[in-house]
Structure 1
Amino acid sequence: MTSLLVLGGVLAAVLLGWTAPAHAAGERLVDEYRSVFGTPGVAAAVIDRSSVETIVRGRDGDGNAVTARTRFRIASMSKSMTATAIMLLVDRGRVSLDDPVVKVLPDFRMADPRFTGITVRQVLSHTSGLSISTNNEYVFPPPRGAREVVAGLADKTLATAPGTHAEYHNTNYSIAARIVEVVSGKSFDAFLRAELFTPLGMTETSSTLGCSDHAEGLTPGYEVVLGVAVAVPEMPGFCVGNGGVISTLDDMVRWLRFNQGTLGTGLLSAASLAELHTAQPNAGGYALGWQVRPVTADASPLLIGHGGTLATWTGDMVFSPRRGVAALVLTNGGGDPSLLSGNLVAERIGAPETPMSNPLTMVNAILLGLTVGMAALLVTVAVRARRWASRRRAARRPRLVLRLVPLALVMVLGVVLPTPIWGAFSLHYWIVTAWLMPSLAIFCLTCCVLGAVALGRRLRCFHRAGQASSAPVRSSSAALDSTSPRAW
């Protein structure tokens, strides 16, 4: 009888998924990550065959304790779900991975004749030829829905021939979402709910069109700068298909178990599931909504994973097909969660851990120092503008323009400094910088605003100094005129 009870318990654990007690090493890694990146809230899990260890820390955007049912934006991890939605249609014979997109979307047009060669597979593997250099994804206001995203490509060109070069580009997955809508006849969110989330028991998972759209039960994420966390709204952007899914730790554990082949085995064919996790031609290790990566640099075994990054949310998920170990990290702040997920897997399989460090700590500290220094310099220039103007008026060669050029350059610096990050000048990119790197945006604003104040004050004081120096001359002339014989 005892043996039967033990066997029954084992079978129940396998079938239902056993939640293991917190593993000391996992807790240590999560706590270290929060310390390094200042992340307000983290929900993490390690799946080791049939057991699931969950680790939750911190608070959500309303100040409540994070739990396994706290809702997070999973950002680009959503791509794995979009690719799976396409693969469901492939299994049903509704579409083929090697179909040209124009066959599935007759209204798809681009101002480049090569667009007709783009296939569904190339869209899912980021080898379509679409590029940030020819298609600005950060337009404001952002498009609403996949139909509008696809329509906006009509005047765009490709950077490379389809299938020849990989460039991670979110628009690819908005095209994929539109394919799902057209082929299925349902909205993208409705299809995911009915055909994917509900069958897998992911009852608290949904998706939105925009990255900042309201969602029931979703609290704000955080901006974290130099350890200071502030709850702020997410940056507006189009997320349909590429980053709009909202989920919980519990639901995402189910998603990983599905991809490991231990849950929902009848939902997708084994061949299609394997194809999702297989690196595609010329894709640089990208599969279909997933990436192939090592546990640590130059190490094996390989992991299948995908990360997600928005302005106020980050996350990562990985699993080892050979070892049966998976890790999941959801956070409500910035950072590099792939470090944590990789270390959680490495610790479990006995591989070396990767040291965790936050390069932005030094970057933000330098930017803060530059901001304070620049502000002090420009305020000093503005305060001493009157003395400067008097010296320039008294000088035999004022060289006014040359003296003002440095201030003008400071203002130009503030305007164009985000350009090297994005590779092109655009006011849209300046807005993105304000969300993704607020410390850089503050430095730029300091240069622009205080530079303009200092420049304007110097010009005004120089003009007034000129008026003051000419006033006595006019008075003396008037006095001479009054004593001249003609005055009588």
Structure 2
Amino acid sequence: MAGAMDDWLGELIAAYDVPGAAVAYLHQGEMHESAAGVLNRRTGAQVTPDSLFQIGSVTKVWTATQLALLAEQGALTLDTPVAELLPGFRVGDPEVTGTVTVRHLLSHTSGIDGDLFLDTGRGDDCLERYVAACADLAQNHPLGATQSYCNAGFVIAGRVVEHLTGTVWDQALREQIIEPLGLTHTWTLPEDVLRFGAAVGHVDGEPSSVWGLMRSCGPAGLITARPADVVAFGRAHLEGGLLKDPRALWEPQVAIPNPHTLGTHWGIGWILDEWDGQRVVSHGGNTIGQSSMLWMLPGTGTIVCAVANGGHSAAFFHHLATELFRELDGVAVPPVLGPTEQPVEVDAARYAGVYERVGSRMTVTVRDGGLRLLMEVTGALAGLQEPAELDLLPVDDVTFVGRLQDDPQWLSAVFYELADGSPYVHMGVRATPKIA
């Protein structure tokens, strides 16, 4: 398959309207790289294996690794309260301010309402200023009560790195991970990325007018890299080379209420799952029109990183993983959860209402006995994405699936309650409380 990889990748991106993509994978100790398509549909610049793509939230595993390295050096433990590491740290809830730990941040269980995209400038104090602004963040859910994806938590974690190392997060990342692994095509600042061939994100098929997120989001999602460098990072976790015990980061910390999106559990930074009896350690990322996936199968030693700059990237990644892992390891990737063959009768009306958290509002209404979902992006990124609607079809009493217009990939939503009876919907690895 390796010899025909470029042709196959070209066919795959055409099928999913992806402008350009690159893949690197480690199999039986050998690295393989492939690329297809364009970095920018406006310029026609070709993607190469050395092209840099924004890997988005895969960055979070790098930030978790930084803190794990500092923990091995005795600078903290994962159960150290953040307030003991960051003088003056505050969030909206005084009790959470004093008790939230590094483990809570890295496992997305802090409950801090997490999609705060706040531009605090390009200066080296951007993380410090961002964390100061977190003083007003309310709780999305009680501390430790469930799992909800929290970008803000990882910016706070990055600020902990700064405080303990005495340098900015970008430089600490270089000193702790990038340079020790000899990575030459991994950067965080656009002025460095510009020295390489870099992808431009595409939204609705056209190059985005905004290239990347604000610098303050660095520890949550600003690494830009070639896939081979990301695979090398994964290899250090699989085979050693950074941490004394990298597998400790794979220990399940919390079950994901909606296990149908990326995995069944969250570890320390990593997402955990099982395919065909094989353990899967992974993470994905999305920025403005760019996406990435990193998968590792410890049982086979195979590591795959794929990146894309637009189109139906989720469906593209799933198709790629399905074919590639079957070819390489004989492993069957589970299909994406879709509708049942026979209609399922549920009391859908009890889920109607408004669900809201920082950055997102979801309005669920009853329609023809089923549910209709209106998704609206709010806050700093509202202007970059139009509201979207989709019908939700029941799979069981609490699980529904739906598809956006013209998107081949099914999305899943799980309605559930916390121990205190508070209603939530879990979608896109985020818990969103019902407010009306």
How many Å separate the matches in 1 of 2:18 and 2:380?
27
2:414 maps to none
Asked if the contact 1:126/1:166 (under 8 Å) is kept, the reply is yes
Pairing partner for 2:78 from 69, 86, 97: 97
2:266 maps to 286
CA distance 1:212–1:173, change in 2 (3 Å): farther
How many Å separate the matches in 1 of 2:334 and 2:3?
19
**Corresponding position: 1:203 with 2:180:** no
Pairing partner for 1:430 from 382, 403, 408: 382
Equivalent position SS for 1:102: helix
Alignment of 1:393-432 (within 5 A): 420=363, 426=378, 428=380, 430-432=382-384
1:317 maps to 294
Identity of aligned residues (%): 26
1:110 maps to 91
State the TM-score, normalized to the length of structure 2: 0.70
The one-letter amino acid of 1:240's match is: G
1:52 maps to 31
How many Å separate the matches in 2 of 1:195 and 1:217?
23
1:249 maps to 227
Q: Deviations over 1:6-36 (max 9, x none)?
A: xxxxxxxxxxxxxxx8244x55653343023
CA distance 1:91–1:140, change in 2 (3 Å): closer
State the TM-score, normalized to the length of structure 1: 0.63
1:167 maps to 148
Q: Deviations over 1:203-241 (max 9, x none)?
A: 221224xx999754353513253xx44354335444210
Pairing partner for 1:67 from 9, 24, 48: 48
The unaligned stretches of length 5 or more in structure 2 are 257-263, 338-359, 364-372, 390-403, 405-436
CA distance 1:28–1:286, change in 2 (3 Å): farther
CA distance 1:36–1:159, change in 2 (3 Å): same
**Highest CA radius of gyration, 1 or 2?**
1
Q: Mean Cα displacement is larger for which, 282-291 or 237-246?
A: 282-291
Asked if the contact 2:51/2:199 (under 8 Å) is kept, the reply is no
Deviation at 1:418, TM superposition (A): 7.6
**Corresponding position: 1:34 with 2:13:** yes
Deviation at 1:140, TM superposition (A): 6.4
How many Å separate the matches in 2 of 1:333 and 1:82?
25
Equivalent position SS for 1:152: helix
1:384 maps to none
How many Å separate the matches in 1 of 2:206 and 2:63?
32
The one-letter amino acid of 2:327's match is: E
Deviation at 1:45, TM superposition (A): 1.8
How many Å separate the matches in 1 of 2:121 and 2:147?
24
How many Å separate the matches in 2 of 1:422 and 1:149?
30
The one-letter amino acid of 1:94's match is: A
The one-letter amino acid of 1:191's match is: A
Deviation at 1:282, TM superposition (A): 4.9
Deviation at 1:139, TM superposition (A): 4.8
2:396 maps to none
Deviation at 1:434, TM superposition (A): 4.6
1:120 maps to 102
Deviation at 1:252, TM superposition (A): 1.7
Pairing partner for 2:129 from 120, 128, 148: 148
Alignment of 1:381-400 (within 5 A): none
Equivalent position SS for 1:240: helix
Asked if the contact 1:123/1:176 (under 8 Å) is kept, the reply is yes
CA RMSD of aligned residues (A): 3.3
Equivalent position SS for 1:154: helix
Q: Deviations over 1:30-60 (max 9, x none)?
A: 3343023211111102211211221111122
2:249 maps to 276
Equivalent position SS for 2:173: helix
Q: Deviations over 1:383-419 (max 9, x none)?
A: xxxxxxxxxxxxxxxxxxxxxxxxxxxxxxxxxx986
**Corresponding position: 1:301 with 2:283:** no
How many Å separate the matches in 2 of 1:277 and 1:102?
25
Q: Deviations over 1:413-457 (max 9, x none)?
A: xxxx986478678464531315999xx9xxxxxxxxxxxxxxxxx
Deviation at 1:111, TM superposition (A): 2.5
The one-letter amino acid of 2:248's match is: E
How many Å separate the matches in 2 of 1:159 and 1:419?
14
The one-letter amino acid of 1:58's match is: G
How many Å separate the matches in 1 of 2:128 and 2:374?
26
Deviation at 1:68, TM superposition (A): 1.8
More helix by share: 1
Deviation at 1:341, TM superposition (A): 3.3
**Corresponding position: 1:80 with 2:61:** yes
More strand by share: 2
How many Å separate the matches in 2 of 1:187 and 1:43?
30
Q: Deviations over 1:127-175 (max 9, x none)?
A: 011125xxx5245678972212211111222232222211001111101
2:427 maps to none
Asked if the contact 1:178/1:188 (under 8 Å) is kept, the reply is yes
CA distance 1:60–1:150, change in 2 (3 Å): same
CA distance 1:422–1:203, change in 2 (3 Å): farther
Alignment of 1:230-269 (within 5 A): 230=207, 232-234=209-211, 236-237=213-214, 238-261=216-239, 264=241, 267-269=242-244
Asked if the contact 2:234/2:303 (under 8 Å) is kept, the reply is yes
The one-letter amino acid of 1:101's match is: V
1:345 maps to 325
Q: Mean Cα displacement is larger for which, 84-93 or 36-45?
A: 36-45
Asked if the contact 2:270/2:281 (under 8 Å) is kept, the reply is yes
Asked if the contact 2:86/2:163 (under 8 Å) is kept, the reply is yes
Pairing partner for 2:112 from 108, 127, 130: 130
CA distance 1:157–1:230, change in 2 (3 Å): closer
How many Å separate the matches in 1 of 2:333 and 2:13?
16
How many Å separate the matches in 2 of 1:23 and 1:355?
27
Q: Mean Cα displacement is larger for which, 197-206 or 327-336?
A: 327-336
